[in-house]
Chains A and B, each alone.
Chain A
Amino acid sequence: MGIAHICLECGQGLARVRVQLDPHYGLPLVSCPRCHAVAVRRPSPAMKQWQAIKRSGLSFGALGLQAVVALALITLTILAIISLERGEFRLGRAFPSREYYFGLAMLLGVLPLFTGAWLTFAFRHVKLRFALFGWASVIVTGLLVIGLGVGMFDDVTGQQYEQIGFGAFGAGAWLGLTQYVLPWSGIFALLLMFTLAGIPPGRLGVKLFAFARCRQRRWMLKRRRLRRSA
């Protein structure tokens, strides 16, 4: 049962009266069957609140999903770069195992491809070159933080810190930069080229999404037209 709606002229119950859309403003009009007074069917503020909550939930859900996917891809990409550099996929075997090929395919194929598609589809409101540049900046910053941290924390001994004091931080940073960040950046440049392969699937996704939305809008318009004619 709908929410109560009473004609303010004659008191007739209008809850069961079908809404006619006003052709000029699109207002949901209700004509009283008894006194022919016209009223606008206004949704209850409580129902409007629910709609607002639903809409907010959609936005926050999209924001959360974007953040989760972004964090997952950043973590996986950095792990992939470090694994490739450390030679975990260069086992030195004459006949590498099936896991070797699977891991290599995941790192060089699936991960960059998915990243490219995600950057193209999820950031369709941003110019693609900005999305790629932003992605590269985030990954290089992550590599820089990890590389410098490892260089300063692990690779320089406590004795060196005692001998050269704060200069050991500089030595560790230089070590981290040359020993880790530069090779990692080279591998990332390679991965970024593979990432470009994900752009066409992403563009296809954008087109399919736009097509689906267009179909949905057409269906809604058709439904509205049918209601008006009824």
Chain B
Amino acid sequence: MNDYQITQAASPGSPKETMPPVAKQSPPHSRGEERVSVMYGDRLCTTCHYNLIGQPVLREGHYNLLVVRCPECATMASLQEYPQLGRWANRWAIFLSGVWIILLLAFAAGGLGMTFGMSGGFTGETVYHFQDELRSHWETWHKAAYPDVSITSRWRNPDGFDEWMKLHPPSTMLAELGGAKKMLARPELLLYTFPIFAAGVMGIFWSVALLHRRRLTMLGASIGLLLIAGGLFGTAWWQIAQQSINSFDEIAWIQLGMPLMATVLLICWGLFTFMLMFGRSIARRLVRVLLPPGLRRPLSVLWLADGLTPPLTLETRL
């Protein structure tokens, strides 16, 4: 009975009849190490990185394994596996994973910032016309109410602003000046194509970056993103609405800018979510058009992730 059988028989709670049969019994060996050859190639010690080239290959006596012993730190290395070239493969893997996660987080933050920034900037441009109309309205009122008093302040806390606001509440001003439809009919509205386009491109990027995720998971993540961003945006809107109004741009933003920006961000989110779910097929189509079959193999993960067959032959010529 060898050591393995002894261990099996002695282990508590394992009846002998349920034990797996031992496939092959090791022949009895002496406990000594028999020198069988010399290491010819490069192999690093896993403990101290000493190159084991030239060291004797030993047949150890206990398990009959081929081993080599490090002359520096006496670590035993089994030779019946791939030679490990060093610990740097794992270190590089950890480092690259960290870099990838940081890059993804940076892309996420940058993408959100870019969409919010562009939408906010272009909303400022779009509501500028409404702001001008408000100022003209106030100037007309001021000239009529105080014909002998010249205007000293037009921008921040304009002359008689509170009185004007009591007579013309901000909530009614938009309807009084022709409604949102008239105020938004401006060429600046075309600028919103940029954040909407950027949201679509970001959707394609994330659909490829999150290859291992199913469409439903990504939809859930996108809805979560909407809830978080919507909560932040709603809080900002509420805070702005709570502040005292001191200028025309604040009226323009509260009455027109914030709803417009919310609508644009919602459109951006819709396109982003659509591209997040279906952007991978666009990426696949692009790869098929731009690369010949021979060069598509490393990118076949784009197909395999969705359980499709990669088009690696010319039979699939478009």
Q: Residues on A close to B: CB < 8 A? A: 1-8, 10-16, 34, 42, 44-46, 49, 52, 55-56, 58-60, 62-63, 66-67, 70, 123-127, 130, 134, 149, 152-154, 156, 158, 161-162, 164-166, 168-169, 172
Nearest B-chain residue to A17, judged by Cβ: B40
Assembled-state Cα–Cα distance A124/B291 (Å): 9
Assembled-state Cα–Cα distance A13/B190 (Å): 73
Nearest A-chain residue to B187, judged by Cβ: A153
Q: How many residue pairs between the two chains, A and B, have CB atoms under 8 Å in the bound complex?
A: 126
The reply on B137 being an interface residue by CB < 8 A is no
The reply on B53 being an interface residue by CB < 8 A is yes
Other-chain residue from B38, B79, B182, B187 in contact with A156 (beta carbon distance below 8 A): B187
How many interface residues does chain B have, given as a range? 35 or more
Assembled-state Cα–Cα distance A161/B181 (Å): 11
Other-chain residue from B181, B185, B291 in contact with A62 (beta carbon distance below 8 A): B291
Other-chain residue from B57, B182, B292, B317 in contact with A165 (beta carbon distance below 8 A): B182
**Do the beta carbons of B296 and A168 come within 8 Å of each other?**
no
**Do the beta carbons of B83 and A44 come within 8 Å of each other?**
yes
Assembled-state Cα–Cα distance A44/B42 (Å): 12
Q: A3-B83, A63-B299 are in contact. List 19 more A-B contacts (CB 8 A).
A: A1-B53, A2-B41, A3-B43, A3-B85, A4-B43, A8-B66, A11-B59, A14-B40, A15-B41, A16-B40, A44-B83, A58-B298, A123-B289, A125-B292, A125-B293, A126-B289, A130-B318, A165-B181, A166-B181
CB-CB under 8 A for A13 and B289, given A44-B82, A149-B190, A158-B186: no
The reply on B175 being an interface residue by CB < 8 A is no
The reply on B290 being an interface residue by CB < 8 A is yes
**Do the beta carbons of B40 and A125 come within 8 Å of each other?**
no
Shortest Cβ gap from A176 to chain B (Å) = 11
Q: Which residues of A contact B293 (CB under 8 A)?
A: 125
Shortest Cβ gap from B118 to chain A (Å) = 16
Q: Which residues of A contact B40 (CB under 8 A)?
A: 1-2, 4, 13-16
Which of B186, B292, B295 lies at the interface centre, i.e. has the most chain A CB atoms within 10 A of its CB? Answer: B295
Shortest Cβ gap from B283 to chain A (Å) = 10
**Interface CB pairs A-B, < 8 A, 18:** A2-B42, A4-B39, A6-B37, A6-B79, A11-B79, A13-B38, A13-B41, A15-B40, A45-B82, A63-B287, A63-B290, A63-B299, A125-B292, A125-B317, A134-B289, A153-B190, A161-B185, A165-B182
Shortest Cβ gap from B120 to chain A (Å) = 20
Which of B39, B40, B82 lies at the interface centre, i.e. has the most chain A CB atoms within 10 A of its CB? Answer: B40
Nearest B-chain residue to A4, judged by Cβ: B41
**Do the beta carbons of A10 and B36 come within 8 Å of each other?**
yes
Shortest Cβ gap from A23 to chain B (Å) = 26
The reply on B314 being an interface residue by CB < 8 A is yes
Q: Which residues of A contact B66 (CB under 8 A)?
A: 6, 8, 11
Nearest A-chain residue to B299, judged by Cβ: A59
Nearest A-chain residue to B44, judged by Cβ: A4
**Do the beta carbons of B291 and A59 come within 8 Å of each other?**
yes
CB-CB under 8 A for A66 and B85, given A13-B41, A59-B298: no
**Do the beta carbons of B190 and A44 come within 8 Å of each other?**
no
The reply on B80 being an interface residue by CB < 8 A is yes
Shortest Cβ gap from B94 to chain A (Å) = 15
**Do the beta carbons of A12 and B291 come within 8 Å of each other?**
no
Assembled-state Cα–Cα distance A123/B293 (Å): 11
